[in-house]
Amino acid sequence: MSQIQKTKNPMQKPRIAKVVVNISVGESGEPLQRATQILEQLTNQKSCQRKAKTTVRDWGIRKNEPIACITTLRDEKATDFLKRALDTVSNKLKKSSFDVNGNFSFGIKEHIEMSGVKYDPRLGIIGMDVCVAIEMPGYRVKRRHKSKARIGRRQRATPEETMEYVRELFGVEILEGAG
């Protein structure tokens, strides 16, 4: 029996808070429009554009120029997209992909590797970053506007708990080394 199933306290079971999908193109115009269209096709949700924070002359990026698109998925949409995204990376994640708060992220090199996606020559091939936030029930106490409060150490998801949760829910294999 796993650690997650052993606990009888429902407030100690991790869950997916959100999945954030980011495509950074590095320039505005046509490439960003294509990336936005691809992201909306993959997630079935409208995406937002993100602007550059600083000017980088070597790369031709100006401050406040839109250079990326992003979307946040929650609940059923998040779980469905995450299953497809993890299948794309062969259900394998590096141990270094997990942070101290139990969140994890990984990259997808080509969006056409995802199940149910067909290549469209007008849009091309593009990669993306997938970031997953894991939290325990009750974590909202720390974020809420009214009556914010600290939360205990046991109410924060640890990397080990998250790894076990992802293994059980999605059948993911955690790779030890950096490569």
- The number of distinct structural domains making up the chain is 1
- HEC profile for 22-46? EEECCCCCHHHHHHHHHHHHHHCCC
pLDDT tens per residue across all 179 residues of the chain? 455 555 677 777 888 999 999 998 888 888 889 999 989 988 999 999 888 888 888 878 888 888 899 999 999 999 999 999 999 988 999 999 999 988 999 999 988 888 788 888 888 888 899 999 998 887 777 888 898 888 888 888 888 989 999 999 889 898 886 55
Are the C-beta atoms of 69 and 84 separated by less than 8 Å?
no
Domain boundaries, position 130:
3-175
